Structure formats: C-alpha cells, structure tokens
Amino acid sequence: MSEAPPSRRVRVAVEAPQHSGLTGPLDYLGPQDLTPGTLVHVTLGRRDVMGLVWDDLAEGQDLPEDERLPESELRPVGEALDALPPLSDRWRRLVEFAASYYQRSIGELALAVLPPQLRDLDAKQLQARLKKLDKADAAAATQAAAAPITPADRPALTAQQQAALDAVLELAGREAPQPALLWGLTGSGKTEIYLRAAEAALERGQQVLVLVPEINLTPQLEARFAERFAGHAIVSLHSGLTPAQRLRHWLAAHLGRAQLVLGTRLAVFASMPRLGLIVVDEEHDPSYKQQDGARYSARDLAVYRGHLEKVPVLLGSATPSLESWQHALGGRYRRIDLTERIGGGALPRVRLFDMNRLERKKGVTTTLSVPLLDALRKRLDRGEQSLVFLNRRGYAPVLHCDQCNWKSDCPHCSAHQVFHKEDRTLRCHHCGVSARVPRACPSCGNPDIAPLGRGTERLEEQLALALPGARVARIDADTTKLKGSLESQLAAVHEGDVDILVGTQMVAKGHDFRRITLVAAVNPDGALFSSDFRAPERLFSLLMQAGGRAGRDAAQAAASEMWVQTWYPEHALYQSLQKHDYEAFASSQLHERMSANLPPFAHLALVRAEGRSVEAARDFLTAAQEAAQALPLSLGLLLYPPVPMAVARVADSERFQMLIEAGSRAQLQRFLRAWLPELHALKRRQKGLTRWAVDVDPLAI
DNA sequence: AGCACGCCGACT
DNA sequence: GTCGGCGTGCTC
C-alpha cells in the first residue's frame, strides 16, 4: 500500500446557485496532485454534489486570507472523475469570465454548461462510458478513412467570395486574430465561406465550432458540412438531444475526436482542446441570448473565446446587430462584405403597399387586399409558390362580445387568450392555460361572440376561401409541435405540393425555398411603435430575411417580389428596406441610439422582480434603487424607476423591472458587483417576492 | 436551490 | 401527545 498523498487546500467550484450567496469556489481538502479542471464529488451541507476543481482566483477577485476558513474546518473532497481529461485552463477562463460578466457564481455556470448527464455519473460509470466510446470510435475509424477534400467537390468561388475567403485566411494566420464580421446578403454564399475557412482549419489539424441560432437550423447546416467533409467527425450540440447523445457528442469534442462541432448557444462552452475557428451564423439573432438562468450572449462569449484562444471568430449576417456593426465601423472587427447574389440573381423587388389607399369599409377584411390577391393569383397561374408571412399564431388574438364588451382575457395574466379554431380552444400564450371556447358570451349570454384580428390560422382559412383550388399550407409553432413535422412540412413545400405557404417567423429564417417568387408581409407595422428600442432592428432583419426566401433560384429572381402591406409606407425603415439598404438603416438607427444614449453607446442591465402582489415586486425594486443610490459606485449611472413589464402579470405573478444605464461596461460591472449582495439581503426581507434576476446586456426591454 | 431546524394547528 | 405546515438560515 502506498501512503496517502499529503492533503492541501483545494478550491472547488460547486453547483450552488447565486442565491446561496456562495459566489466563488469553495475550499476543501484534497490530494496535492489534484489538477484544476478535474470533476470531483464533494459534500455540500448534507448532500453530495458535483464540483470542478478550480484554481486560485486572480489577485483581488479572491477572498482575503483572513476570511478563509482554517484548514481544520475543511471537508475532504470525494471521488475524483479523473478518467476524464481535465477541462482546460482556457475553458476555465471562459467560464470565469462569463460568470463574472453575467453576475453568476462560477460553480453554477460551470456545471450548468456541462452535459447534464455528466453530473450524475460516478467514476466507474464514467470509465465505462469512455470505454464504450473508444470502441465505437475504433469501429468508425476502420469503416471510413477520411476522404480528402478535392477541389472538384467544391463550387468555384466568385471573385468576391475569393476575396472574402482570403481576408478570413489572412486573419487566421495572425498571432491574435481580430474578429471578422462577414456581411453578406441572403444568397451571397456566406456558408461557402464558412466551409472554406473550416477546411483550412481542419487541414491544420484544428477543431471548428459553428454556432447557429436555432435547433431547427442545425440539421440542414449539418447536412452541408457532412457532405463537404465526408469522413470527418461532426457532432451537434443542442438541447434537443437526448441526455446520452448530448454526453457522447460533448465527450467527442472534449477528447478532440470531433473535428466539427455544430450547435446552438450552449455549444459556445463546448470543451475543444484544438479549437481553431469559431463561426457564428446569423450573429444578429436574438436566440443567442439565453433567457433564463445565466443570461449569457453566446455571440459575445464566442468573441471573447476567440480572444482567449487566439483564434478567428467569423460573425455572419445579412443584417448584423447594431453592436457588431458599430464594432466594424470602429475598426474593432474586420468587416468583410459579400454584396452580390450567387449566379447574379437579383434581390426581390420590394413593393410597399399603402393600406391607406384601400377603401375602408366596415366589417370588410382588408388584410387580404384585392391587389395582394391578384399578385398571389398571378403566381398560382404561373405555377410558382408564395409565402405569406404573419408573425402571430392562432385564429384570432382575442374573442369579443359586441353587446357587453367582454373579451377573452386570461384569468392569470394581463393578456388576452388567443382563439385557436382548430381545436376550439382559448389559449394564453404567456402562461399556457387552455380552455374550451364558450358557446355564448360568459358575461351576458350573447351567443354572438366574434373573433377580433387575425392570426396564421385565420389567414390560411381566408386564403383558401379567396383562392379556390390553391393548395394552402401553414407552418408555425402549432403545426410543428410533433417531432419531425417541421421537416416533413418543409419537404412538402420543396416537392411543390404547396402553392401558398402561410407562416410565422419560423419560416422566415434560413430555409432554402427554391420556387418561391412572392413573399408577403401582411401586417408588420406593430413593431414600428413598440416601446422596445430594438424593435425596429428586429423588424428590419426579419423582413430582410423573409424577403430573402424569394428568388433563391436565379432563373426566377428577376420576377420575384416582396410585398409589404403597411399604413406607414413613408417610414424610414420601409424606405431602407425597399432599397435593400441595410447600411442606411443601420446608420439612422445608430444615430438615434447615440442621441438617446442607448446601446451600443451605453451599457444596460435590467433587474426583474416577480411577486405575488404588485407591492411586493415594486417595493423590492424601490428598495433596491435606494440601496443603489447609497453606493458611491452608482455615481454617473442612470437608475430608471421601477416599471411594470409590458405583460405585467403572468401566471398570477406580478412583474416589474428596472433599468440601469452606464457609460462603460467596466463601470456597470463594478456597480453590479457591489450591489448584488444587497439585493440578496433585500430578497430575504421582502415578503411575497418570488423571484428576481439581473440581466446584463438585455435584448428585450 | 436543497435541506435542515423550528415553532404552532388538527389528528390517531 | 405527534404529524406536518412553510418561515428562516446555512452550505467550504
């Protein structure tokens, strides 16, 4: 028997959430040779939890010597899962940065971004898992020898693409590459640039990380990469995988066996020992921001990770986020442009249809205007497809009684219940409650209750009625609930089994329709007057993307059209859209943002509070504000008063929020670090407060 | 967050 | 007398 190695103080990041007040790693006693990055079981209170051996934090970040527990009071670490190679130093720096920036504990974040199944394993089970993986890999390796990529397999690059690729490769050759913003129209061949850049990294023996905004978009991109890189190991990482798949794919990345990792925002934390390139496709997409728990932006973390690992980051978009655009204008990002569509195709002609020109007759539906129906009919006659875009699910957003003014309000939320005709339900899109549609007005008994407004279900019905013989189909969250149904419905469109496709933003993103020559946005005005300062940016990008669905087949591009029905055709947003002029739009938005002192010229944090009563939620934030004003660090910050959220009550919970504005990130960070402990204390005193959270760099205000 | 302890109401 | 309600407080 060998002697037990001498014990020492070991820092372990444990899975304890922020609310516990335990922010940094905890101290345990462990063997001398325990490497940082190793998973260990430790006792926390009375339970056994997973922890990750951490290093001593940087000067100033750590507790002072005299506040640490004496070694005599420390508990020993439990079993180490040392069959797994430790998480790298760079990986830990990324997690440390993310935890600090988004104001969460290191342990919470570190363990939340590991595959969930890893937490439930003991050393023996892990070893078995790794052995099984070895076997499978060996079998796969003998089966398919990596086929070299030959130039013949790839489409020739246009001159512009070649220049873009050269710029990317030049960056990759630098010691500390600058992030690149690949600004390319839909159909300009961005994906080909990703593929070529990835190819170069693979040839150097490096791994490539590709992020996409939605799970929906992973299969088609995965197919493209799989086709190009046959024989290479490609794995996907997203929340749609089974726990076992997720662990297997994560391990493949961590062990360096997966050469390409493709995934949604959580994949930004994938452990990759030989990372050589990060691609963030559709970098402007709001889905990159996590909306609960640690509210990180995977795009921003990707940029930070690139900086840490000294690898190039390629941010791609036709309508970059104004943050990224501003970075490019300021020279922090290298801008690379793709301004031509492949094959010389033109962008669809944008027609702004002025709704004011229609005669307004009472009770007559104007959404399907006569000219729009004519345009749709023209496509039908030519055997072409059309996409009608409406960002609202259901049949009608509300039911209404003419006699007593009753409305289908949700009993638990400050929102209407949406009428879904298909299953005759009234559903609240905020809390999810569902009720049968009443036969008569529940308030006065009037049998004549009517739907008000329209959603995709009703649009589908009205189109079928107005255009007899047309094959109308609808794709939205309701028609794609079942697994695989989105794929089969998209396939039906590709097969030509559909003439007119009705859909929400789900169909506006990414899907490559070949035969669509008309895209119509029938009611996009809502976002023009939203209280959220980012609403115009989102609308512009959504409409550009929707428009990009038309004319992808170069032969039909000339005849393709985007139809926008609006009451405000003179609005600057639509004017820029009509000219496909993202630059003009961005410039006017940035101008507005600068004069209003909004991002990217200011930095925001949002504190949200939920309580059983309006008072509980509001009083908490008011007290929080008072505590903030007492801090010297709040000097120069703008603390807005607490206000109810746009939907103030959800599932019987009252919601308030409060905005903090700072001139610099560092200032905001310093303030939050000092302030949050006070909020934890306040929460304990505030009765009826159920939850609160800080959102750094919030996307939706 | 878990998971204790702790101090008051309706049950065998 | 005890089972259990959820308020309060702690976890290296």
Mean pLDDT of A33-61: 89
Nucleotide nearest to A15 (CA to C1'): B1
* CB-based contact A521:A387 (threshold 8 Å): no
Tens digits of residue pLDDT in A238-296: 999 999 999 999 999 999 999 999 999 999 999 999 999 999 999 999 999 999 889 99
Q: Is A404 annotated as a binding residue?
A: yes
Q: Residue A194, Cα to own-chain centre: how many angstroms?
A: 20
Residue A286 CA and nucleotide C2 C1' are separated, in Å, by 55
Query: End-to-end distance of chain A based on CA atoms, in angstroms?
Result: 63
Identify the pLDDT of residue A234.
Answer: 96
Identify the pLDDT of residue A269.
Answer: 98
Q: Is A444 annotated as a binding residue?
A: yes
Q: Is A441 annotated as a binding residue?
A: yes
Per the structure, the residue whose CA is closest to nucleotide C8 at C1' is A684
For residue A237, report the phi and psi dihedrals to the nearest 5 degrees.
-135, 110
Tens digits of residue pLDDT in A228-253: 999 899 999 999 999 999 999 999 99
Identify the pLDDT of residue A347.
Answer: 85
Tens digits of residue pLDDT in A415-428: 999 999 999 999 99
Label residue A151 by pLDDT band (50, 70, 90): low
Domain spanning A7-112, CATH architecture: 3-Layer(aba) Sandwich (3.40)
The helix (H) or strand (E) run that includes residue A129 is: helix A123-143
Identify the pLDDT of residue A424.
Answer: 95
Residue given tokens 């079942």 in the structure block: A482
DSSP structure class, residue A657: E
Mean pLDDT of A481-508: 91
Tens digits of residue pLDDT in A334-352: 999 999 988 777 789 999 9
Identify the pLDDT of residue A1.
Answer: 45
Residue given tokens 């539906």 in the structure block: A365
| Equal fold, A124-343 vs A345-395+454-593 | yes
Residue A613 CA and nucleotide B11 C1' are separated, in Å, by 34
Domain A124-343 part of CATH 3.40.50.300: yes
Helices A614-629 and A665-685, axial angle in degrees (round to 10): 130
Nucleotide nearest to A44 (CA to C1'): C11
Domain spanning A345-395+454-593, CATH architecture: 3-Layer(aba) Sandwich (3.40)
Label residue A21 by pLDDT band (50, 70, 90): confident
Q: Parse chain A into domains and list their residue ranges.
A: 7-112, 124-343, 345-395+454-593, 396-453, 603-696
Listed by range, residues with Cβ under 7 angstroms from strand B are A 16-17, 19-21, 45-47
Residue A21 CA and nucleotide B7 C1' are separated, in Å, by 26
Mean pLDDT of A171-200: 95
Q: What is the mean pLDDT of chain A?
A: 92
Residue given tokens 């010691």 in the structure block: A175
Q: Percentage of chain A surpassing pLDDT 70? A: 95
Q: Is the pLDDT of residue A149 over 80?
A: no
Per the structure, the residue whose CA is closest to nucleotide C9 at C1' is A684
Alpha-carbon distance of A546 to A29, in angstroms, equals 58
Residue given tokens 């028997």 in the structure block: A1
Residue A45 CA and nucleotide B6 C1' are separated, in Å, by 18
Identify the pLDDT of residue A147.
Answer: 57
Tens digits of residue pLDDT in A389-410: 999 999 999 999 999 999 999 9
List the one residue out of A542, A545, A514 whose CA is nearest residue A528: A542
Identify the pLDDT of residue A56.
Answer: 82
Residue A567 CA and nucleotide B1 C1' are separated, in Å, by 50
Q: Is the pLDDT of residue A497 over 90?
A: yes
Please indicate whether residue A143 or residue A643 has the higher confidence score (pLDDT). A643
User: Which bases on strand C have an atom closer than 7 Å to a protein beta carbon?
Assistant: 8-12
List the one residue out of A602, A677, A594, A591 whose CA is nearest residue A636: A602
Tens digits of residue pLDDT in A354-384: 999 887 665 455 778 899 999 999 999 999 9
Nucleotide nearest to A19 (CA to C1'): B1
Q: Is A428 annotated as a binding residue?
A: yes
Residue A19 CA and nucleotide B10 C1' are separated, in Å, by 35
Domain A603-696 part of CATH 3.40.50.620: no
pTM for this one?
0.95
Q: Is the pLDDT of residue A144 over 60?
A: no
In sequence order, what E strands does A304-406 have?
313-317, 334-338, 349-354, 385-389, 398-401
Mean pLDDT of A545-557: 79
Please indicate whether residue A557 or residue A626 has the higher confidence score (pLDDT). A626
